Amino acid sequence: MLAGHLKLYRFLNKNRVRYLVIGGVACGIYGSPRVTVDVDIAIEPTIENTMRLHRALVKAGFGTAYLTTPEKILANEISIFDDYIKLDIITKPKGLDFKKAWSRKSVRDIKGVRVKFISLDDLIGSKVASHRRIDIEDIKILRKIKKRLK
């Protein structure tokens, strides 16, 4: 599974997509034991960035990317691509101002690939704003992790 993730991140980087890994994968990066079946990625919601994203997905082998357009991705809050990995592209994440979050991102090197993650503070804030039952435990764990890091 990691190979599929890294392939995706390589193509996003190569095509200069402004993205942030959020959700369960980001929780795991910060030390949460959360298990997830998909990758959630927030993107800068501009047509230029969405065009770069669409091109990256096609080049990365996401066959389902052929079923949509950059305009459709941008018009929807969430676009789901289910190929060699399940990928959720989020253009309007709750509680997240992409421009501000981008300036606070955490860039991690994973097996030679630079991956852009939402900051711990922004991850907690977005989970609080989402008001989803599944996020309650994540919030508790992430706050404990943040406290330990101080």
The pLDDT of residue 125 is 95
Fold of 2-142: Beta Polymerase; domain 2 (3.30.460)
Share of the chain above pLDDT 90, in %: 83
The mean pLDDT value for 66-95 works out to 95
Q: Residue 25: which of 104, 87, 95 has the closest Cα?
A: 87
Count other Cβ atoms within 10 Å, centred on residue 80: 11
**Does pTM surpass 0.85?**
yes
What Rg, from alpha-carbon coordinates, does the chain have? 15
Asked if the model's pLDDT at residue 1 lies above 70, the reply is: no
Please name the amino acid found at residue 114. R
* 46 touches 15 (CB < 8 A): no
Token digits for 10? 């390589």
Asked if the model's pLDDT at residue 85 lies above 90, the reply is: yes
Q: What is the 8-class DSSP label of residue 64?
A: G
Residue where the block lists tokens 């770069």: 52
Asked if the model's pLDDT at residue 11 lies above 60, the reply is: yes
Asked if the model's pLDDT at residue 87 lies above 70, the reply is: yes
| DSSP H or E segment with residue 117 | strand 113-117
